[in-house]
């Protein structure tokens, strides 16, 4: 699934490691989500949206079709 995670993370001045630490996940998880290789669980998606004070729909772009 495409996402805006890297853009939002950089806009907020967070490194991948700092974001991972804030969410209680590994840096590799953040890298995999940013590259679209891993779709986060629903609870993690909500945590990410809360971290950036945005809706899940603003963070993740569903693949239609």
pLDDT tens by residue, 2-56: 999 999 999 999 999 999 999 999 999 999 999 999 999 999 999 999 999 999 9
Distance between CA atoms of residues 65 and 25, nearest Å: 31
10 Å CB burial of residue 17 (0-12, 13-18, 19+) is exposed
**Domains of the chain (ranges, CATH numbers):** 2-56 (1.10.260.40)
Quick check: 1 pLDDT over 90?
A: no
| Contact present, 31 and 19 (Cβ < 8 Å) | no
Q: Chain-centre distance of CA 11, in angstroms?
A: 13
- pLDDT at residue 62, rounded to an integer: 81
Q: Could you tell me the pTM of the whole model? A: 0.91
């Amino acid at each position: 699934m495409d996402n805006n995670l890297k853009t939002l993370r950089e806009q907020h001045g967070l490194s991948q490691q700092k974001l991972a630490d804030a969410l209680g996940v590994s840096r590799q998880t953040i890298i995999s989500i940013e590259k679209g290789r891993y779709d986060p669980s629903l609870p993690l998606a909500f945590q990410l949206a809360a971290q950036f004070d945005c809706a899940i729909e603003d963070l993740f772009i569903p693949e239609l079709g």
